[in-house]
Amino acid sequence: EIVMTQSPATLSVSPGERATLSCRASQSVSSKLAWYQQKPGQAPRLLIYGASTRATGIPARFSGSGSGTEFTLTISSLQSEDFALYYCQQYNNWPPLTFGGGTKVEIK
Amino acid sequence: EVRLVESGGGLVKPGGSLRLSCAGSGFTFNSYTMNWVRQAPGKGLQWVSSISSGSSYKYYAESLKGRFTISRDNAEKSLYLQMDSLRVEDTAVYFCATEFVDTVATPHQVFDSWGQGTLVTVSS
């Protein structure tokens, strides 16, 4: 099973600032890495797939990068609606499909 | 508009059973792999199970094999999860979700559209 590790667990950022979230895989997942955003009481929303391709309707301030075992989600200028939980998920080697533990982006 | 509506959650005693349902609309249900993902209270996301569009392939999280059974009825545009021998640690919100198919019709085993979830509580 591929273990996904996200860091930091919590990221405190001021509105308008850049946020950088990390995701590490226990073995290579090539570029088969997705990012999701989840707000309290809601289902997750797909942001990024293929490590760097934004899903439909996702603003350009969200960008993904990386391949192999190291990945980054960058939010270039945080808006109020971006404060949420973020999860990464690998789909290169499954089953099982595996998620990271999440990063909470909170207002500083 | 894609819509997924889960139902069937509730309170059940350890060792009991529940059958979850997910009704799909607004998309060609029989063309998509469908999935269950769960989230324990205050915890992260855990993939539970996936079923191919024609039910030929079924996959489960290792810890759930033998207790959970995924199925679908394409005529009814519905996805199911039969959960037996439930344990306290199965307490979670259970989401159904479609796979994602990109603009060149390549499927990606990530989760695109999601339902609102149904809460399963296993407690004595």
Which band of pLDDT confidence, cut at 50, 70 and 90, is reported for residue B102?
Answer: confident
Which band of pLDDT confidence, cut at 50, 70 and 90, is reported for residue A68?
Answer: very high
- Interface A-B, measured as beta-carbon pairs within 8 A, has a size of 64
Contact A102 B44 (CB under 8 A): yes
- CA torsion sign, A7 to A10 to A12 to A13? positive
CA dist A69 and B103 (Å) reads 26
Q: Is A89 on the interface with B (CB under 8 A)?
A: yes
- What's residue B65's pLDDT? 83
Could you tell me if A19 and A105 are in contact, meaning their C-beta atoms sit under 8 angstroms apart?
A: yes
A9-62 pLDDT, tens per residue?
A: 999 999 999 999 999 999 999 999 999 999 999 999 999 999 999 999 999 999
Distance of CA A10 to the CA centre of its chain: 13
| Minimum CA–CA partner of B5 in chain A | A43
- What's residue B75's pLDDT? 97
Q: Is A102 on the interface with B (CB under 8 A)?
A: yes
Among A36, A38, A43, the residue with its CB nearest the CB of B115 is A43
For B25, counting Cβ atoms within 10 Å of its Cβ (0-12 exposed, 13-18 middle, 19+ buried), the class is exposed
Strands A4-7, A19-25: pairing is antiparallel
Strands B118-122, B10-12: pairing is parallel
Average pLDDT over residues B77-106: 95
Averaged confidence pLDDT in chain B: 96
Site of tokens 């293929």: A50
